[in-house]
Amino acid sequence: MTKYYGAKKALEDTTLRCPKKDFTAVLGPPGAGKTTLLRCAAGLDRPTSGTVSIAGQNITDMNEAALDVLRSERVSYVFSSRNLLPSLTVAENLTLPLRLTKRSAPPSLVIDLVRRAGLSEHLDSMPTDLCQSRQQLVAVVRAMITSPAVILADDPARGLDPRSAGEVLDLLASYVREHDGNVLLASHDPMVAAYADQTVLLKSGRVVREPGFPAGKAALERAVHLAVWEARDPF
Ligand SMILES: Nc1ncnc2c1ncn2[C@@H]1O[C@H](COP(=O)(O)OP(=O)(O)O)[C@@H](O)[C@H]1O
Ligand SMILES: [Mg+2]
C-alpha cells in the first residue's frame, strides 16, 4: 500500500503479509512509517492506494460503520502510552471492550490472562496506583480479552526497563503461541525481533529488507551485535 499525508509520502508500495498464528515485528527508525502502517492495518486510517485484508476480509472499502464493528470485534490496538481510563479500576479497564460490545469472554480465559500478566492482586486498584509496566500489561490483556484476529501493537514496550519490556512482549507472544492469534508489532528497538516469527525493516516508508531478516534467537544475536558495533544507527 501507499499512504500520503498531503504531499508527504509516509508509505511507499509497502507490502506485508502475516500468515496465521504469526508474530511480525516491523522495525525502523522514527519517521519510518511504522505507526502509519499499523493505523492503516487497523482500519484507523485509509491507505491512499492499495488494500488491507484482515482474516481474508478486504477492509479497504468498508464504510465507517463496518470498520467500527471490525475494530471492536476483530482487531485490538496497543499504544505506547498506556491509554487506560483513570476513573475505572483495573478489572473494569480490562473488561471494557467486552462491555462496550455487550459480549462476554470465557471466565477461564480471563482468569488465565490475569494470572499470566501478574495482575491477580491488582484487579481492584486504580491504573495510576500501578507502575508503568503493569499499566501496559493491563492494556495488553485488554487487547487479548476479546480474542481478536490480530493485535496491532505500536511500540508497546517503549520507555520500559528491559525486564518489564520482556514481560509485555512475552504476554503478546503468548497470544500467538497459545491462543493462535496474530500480532503485528512496530518498534524502533531491534531487541523485539527476538520475540518475532518474521521481522520487516521499514525505512522512509519502504521495506528495505524483505522477510528473511532473522527472527528469534538469530535476531537477538544480530541485535546485540548491532547494538555493540553500530550503536549510532542500527538500521
Ligand atoms: N497525520 C500526519 N500528517 C502529516 N504527516 C504525518 C502524519 N502522520 C505521520 N506523518 C509523517 O509520516 C511519516 C511516517 O510517520 P510515522 O508513521 O509516525 O513513523 P514512525 O511510527 O515510524 O515513527 C513521518 O515523516 C511523519 O512525519
Ligand atoms: Mg510511530
pLDDT score, position 81: 86
What pLDDT, in 10s, does the model give residues 33-51?
A: 999 999 999 999 999 999 9
Q: Of ligand 1's atoms, which has the minimum distance to the CA of residue 37?
A: 17
Is position 184 within any domain? yes
Residue 205, CA distances (Å) to 85, 96, 201, 227, 235 in order: 33, 34, 10, 23, 13
Mean pLDDT score, 52-75: 91
The CATH number for 63's domain is 3.40.50.300
Taking CB atoms and a 6 Å cutoff, what residues make up the pocket around ligand 1? Answer: 5, 8, 10, 28, 30-36
Q: Is residue 191 part of a domain?
A: yes
- pTM of the complete model beyond 0.85: yes
What are the beta bridge partners of residue 75?
Answer: 150
The answer to whether residue 122 sits within a structural domain is yes
DSSP-derived letter for residue 7 is: T
pLDDT in tens, 72-102: 889 999 999 878 999 999 999 999 999 998 9
Boundaries of domain holding 160:
3-229
More confident residue, 224 or 179: 179
Q: Tell me what percent of the residues of the chain surpass a pLDDT of 70.
A: 89
How many structural domains compose the chain?
1
Position 235 in a domain: no
Question: What would the mean pLDDT of 147-159 be, rounded to a whole number?
Answer: 95
Query: Could you give the 3-state DSSP secondary structure of residue 73?
Result: helix
DSSP classification of residue 129: G
Question: For residue 224, what pLDDT band results from cuts at 50, 70 and 90?
Answer: low
Q: Which of 36, 39, 77 to mutate to test the pocket of ligand 1 (most atoms within 8 A of CB)?
A: 36
Range scoring the smallest mean pLDDT among 115-129, 133-147, 192-206: 192-206
How many angstroms is it from 182 CA to the middle of ligand 1?
A: 24
Protein residue with its CA nearest to atom 7 in ligand 1: 5
pLDDT at 191: 87
The predicted pLDDT at position 231 comes to 46
Residue at 137 is within a domain: yes
If you measure from the C-alpha of residue 33 to the centroid of ligand 1, how many angstroms do you get, rounded to a whole number?
A: 6
Residue whose CA is at the smallest distance from ligand 1 atom 16 = 33
Reduced DSSP (H G I as helix, E B as strand, rest coil) percent helix, strand, coil of the chain, to 5? 40, 20, 40
Mutate to test the pocket of ligand 1, among 2, 3, 5, 189 (most ligand atoms within 8 A of CB): 5
C-alpha cell at 16: 506485508
pLDDT category at 230 given cuts 50, 70, 90 is very low
Q: Decide if 51 contacts 58 (C-beta within 8 A).
A: yes
Task: Identify the CA nearest to 132 among candidates 175, 110, 161, 93.
Answer: 161
> If you take atom 6 of ligand 1, which residue's CA is the nearest one?
5
> What is the predicted pLDDT for the residue at 222?
61
Using alpha carbons, select from 76, 73, 71, 49 the residue that is nearest to residue 61: 49
Establish if 234 belongs to a structural domain: no
Asked if residue 163 belongs to a domain, the reply is: yes
How far, in Å, CA of 66 to CA of 39, rounded? 16
pLDDT of residue 190: 87
Q: Is the dihedral of CA 51, 55, 57, 60 positive or negative?
A: negative
* Pairwise CA distance, residues 169 & 119, whole Å: 16
Using alpha carbons only, what angle is made at residue 192 by residues 188 and 193, rounded to the nearest 5 degrees?
Answer: 105
